Each structure stands twice: as structure tokens, then as C-alpha cells.
Amino acid sequence: MKSVLEGATRVVVKVGSSLVTNQGQGLDNAALDAWATQIAAIREMGMEVVLVSSGAVAEGMKRLGWKKRPHAVHELQAAAAVGQMGLVQVYESCFSKYGIVTSQVLLTHDDLADRKRYLNARSTLKTLLNLGVVPIINENDTVVTDEIKFGDNDTLGALVTNLIEADVLVILTDQEGLYTSDPRKDKDAKLVSCGQAGDAGLEAMAGGAGSEIGRGGMLTKILAAKRAARSGAHTVIASGREKDVLARLAKGEIIGTHLAAKTVALVARKQWLADHLQVKGEFILDNGAAKALKMEGKSLLPIGVVSVSGEFERGELVGCVDHNGVAIARGFSNYSSIEAKKIMRHASGEIEAILGYVDEPELIHRDNLVLL
């Protein structure tokens, strides 16, 4: 078996707080410099790299003179706002030694749940990669509420992996990988070198909370691998303390835990659509349209829609139900609810005459539709 990173062309690397901070005493500049060196090395191997980095809150705590991580959300947000300045400053300095331009991208989970913002973020990140830039991503802790309580950059790394259709998500931590049980308590615990992302047995093995500085335990990493697999991406969970860990993984060495995705990218993307987005409205279909979707793998045309419910904009997720109200599919609508009501029961060739323009001949293209 070889490393899932070998041969990858687009990689998301997530480094945890313990790997970029000095025992909670702000940023470890030498550590950040080492990550820049390793990322520069795998870029030379032909890989595009997006870096998801923790550390802003810890650096903010140092700058504000706080010895203990606060619990109040507004204080965490203040620490993140202060610390983000130092985090980006150090990374920019470290990468510039290799002639690498960096960018800062702050995201929330909501940015990737909203279709318009999702597409904007996707376009921006892909453009940055095409320009040879290394995007440095962090959760926008200054404005989020629930997410910041968990320090869940593992999940953010998986969402970014799906967003840019990366080949591999590499989660680097202060642990060697997933063990069959807690190695701190069980001397017989064994490292799980390889497995299947989404295997329920792996979740049962995963332990609890992380350190006082970071909040991502092993379970969040296993769940992140499961999420990344929905877009066909493999995951590596490995110790960032290993010397030249990224280059060694890129050369095929097995380090840590490698979790393979069992689904191909297109199927996985549709699975992600089905599981994780809330529908904004519904198309009620006639029997012919329902059959075309379920049996023939066709796109949804306006002539097959007998009714439209809910309010939604172009690009938002809409459910498709048959005349009995049974949900059969969902997908991204090419038209708003107002437009869809005007063109339903009409042939695609009539759209321009009705609306004065035509965006797409389909209400939902089959590539943006998933059967339930």
C-alpha cells in the first residue's frame, strides 16, 4: 500500500493549534517557517496546496496577555481578531522566502452552505491556485457563534476539500493518528494505518476532546474524513511532529492513518447535496417528468412541472416531488421561484418568449440533481 497523497495534484493541508503555537504562548514562528518549507517542497512536486491553519485565538491570547482560553464567545472573537493579524504576517514572511505569494481567506460554515457564496468562494480559491498562490484559510472566528465554541477547523478543512474538489485532505495534529483505543490509557492500543472513510467503527474508536489551546479531538478528524469522502477525497491524519511529513507522504510513505474514499467524485458530490443542504422550495412533477428523473437520468424541464412552492433564487436547492408528494430528487434550480412559476408547463423553447431571456433550457440540469 502507498500513501494516498502520492500522485495527488490538489491538496488541502490542515495544521492544528498545537503545531503552530508554543504551548499556548502565541505563535511558534519556527514552526510556521517549517510548514512553509514543507509546502514549498510538495509544490515543487507539482501539487497545488491550500493551507487551513489554526492559531489565531492563541496568538490573540498572547497579545492580550490572557493566560487561559476564555469561554465567552465575544472574548474568543476578540482574541481571534487580534491574533489573525500576527498569523497572516508570519505566514507571509515565511512563504516569501520561497517566492510564494500567499492570500488570506476567512470563511464560515454558512459561507459554504449558501450556494451563491459557495460558488464565489470556489471561484476565488481556484483562481488563486491557478495564479500559483497559496491560500491560507481560517474560520472567520470574529463573526461566527456556534462554530467557534468547537474550534472545528477539521470540519472547515473538509468543507474546503469539497469546495475545490481536492484529491486529499491532510490533517496534521500532535497525535500519530487514530488508535484502536486511547494509547494514553491502553498500552495495547494499536495505530490504525488504513481504513475506509465513513466506517462507523472508526468513529467508535475515536477519542474525546483535544488540548486546552485547540478544540478538535480525534472524533472531529474522523468525521471530517467522512465529509471529505463525499467529494471523492481521501484523508490522512498524521503527526505534524514527524520530520518532513508532507514530503514523505507525497513520496508514498505511509505515516499516520490513511482513510480512503469509497465513492467517485460525482456520486460523492451528489451524496453531499442530498445530505447537507436545506431545500428552499419544491417542484411538483407530473408522471412523465418523475419517470424521466428516476428511470432515465434526465434533467428536469419546465414542461414537467405542474406546481412550484416556496421562495428561492437562482442557484438555490429545490426539492422535486411526485404527484403523491413523495420526494424523489433535489437539485440546484436554474431559475428563481418567480421565474419557475411563469415557465412551468411550457416547453424550453418558449422560455425566452415568456421571460424575455433564457439562462438554461432546464430547470435543473442532471449534473446538479440527486435522486433520493
- CATH value at residue 354: 2.30.130.10
Answer yes or no: do 349 and 319 share one domain.
yes
Answer yes or no: do 254 and 367 share one domain.
no
Answer yes or no: do 222 and 107 share one domain.
yes
**Amino acid 12: pLDDT:** 98
Cite the DSSP H helix spans in 11-140. Answer: 17-20, 29-44, 56-64, 73-96, 109-113, 115-130
Cell of 58: 492563541
Report how far apart, in Å, the C-alpha atoms of 117 and of each of 108, 113, 217, 270, 314 are: 10, 8, 29, 19, 13
Rounded mean pLDDT for each run of 10 residues along the chain, 372 residues in total: 91 94 86 97 97 92 91 89 94 97 89 76 94 94 59 83 94 92 83 91 71 60 90 94 96 96 71 70 96 94 97 93 92 95 97 93 92 84
Beta-carbon contacts of 2 under 8 Å, excluding residues fewer than 6 positions away, are 252, 254
DSSP character string of 123-187: HHHHHHHHTT-EEEEEE-TTT-STGGGTT-HHHHHHHHHHHHT-SEEEEEESS-S-BSS-TTT-T
The number of distinct structural domains making up the chain is: 2
Q: Please report whether residue 1 resides in a domain.
A: no
Q: Please report whether residue 121 resides in a domain.
A: yes
**Amino acid 43: pLDDT:** 98
Distance, C-alpha 136 to centroid of its chain: 14
The residue range of the domain holding 199 is 10-271
Using the Cα atoms of residue 38, residue 14, residue 210 and residue 33 in order, give the sign of their dihedral.
Answer: positive
Cell of 285: 412533477
Answer yes or no: do 254 and 282 share one domain.
no
* The three-state (H, E, C) secondary structure of 184-245, written as one string: CCCCCCCECCEEECCCHHHHHHCCCCCCCCCCCCHHHHHHHHHHHHCCCCEEEEEECCCCCH
Domain boundary among 250, 271, 292: 271
Answer yes or no: do 228 and 288 share one domain.
no
Which helix (DSSP H) or strand (DSSP E) does residue 268 occupy? helix 265-276
Grid look-up 478528524 returns: 221
- Round to whole Å and give the CA distance between 27 and 17: 9
Answer yes or no: do 264 and 291 share one domain.
no
- Give the end-to-end CA distance of the chain in Å, rounded to a whole number: 35
**Of 105, 64, 60, 62, nearest in space to 84 by CA:** 60
Cell of 21: 503555537
Q: What is the DSSP letter of 320?
A: E
Domain boundary among 253, 271, 289: 271
CATH number at residue 212: 3.40.1160.10
Answer yes or no: do 212 and 339 share one domain.
no
Domain boundary among 271, 295, 317: 271
User: Is residue 47 a contact partner of residue 11, using CB atoms and an 8 Å limit?
Assistant: yes
Answer yes or no: do 134 and 83 share one domain.
yes
Grid look-up 481567506 returns: 105
Which helix (DSSP H) or strand (DSSP E) does residue 288 occupy? helix 287-296
**Amino acid 205: pLDDT:** 85
Answer yes or no: do 332 and 231 share one domain.
no
Q: Please report whether residue 4 resides in a domain.
A: no
Sheet with 194-196, edge to edge strand ranges: 102-107, 134-139, 48-53, 10-15, 168-173, 234-239, 257-260, 194-196
Q: Please report whether residue 5 resides in a domain.
A: no
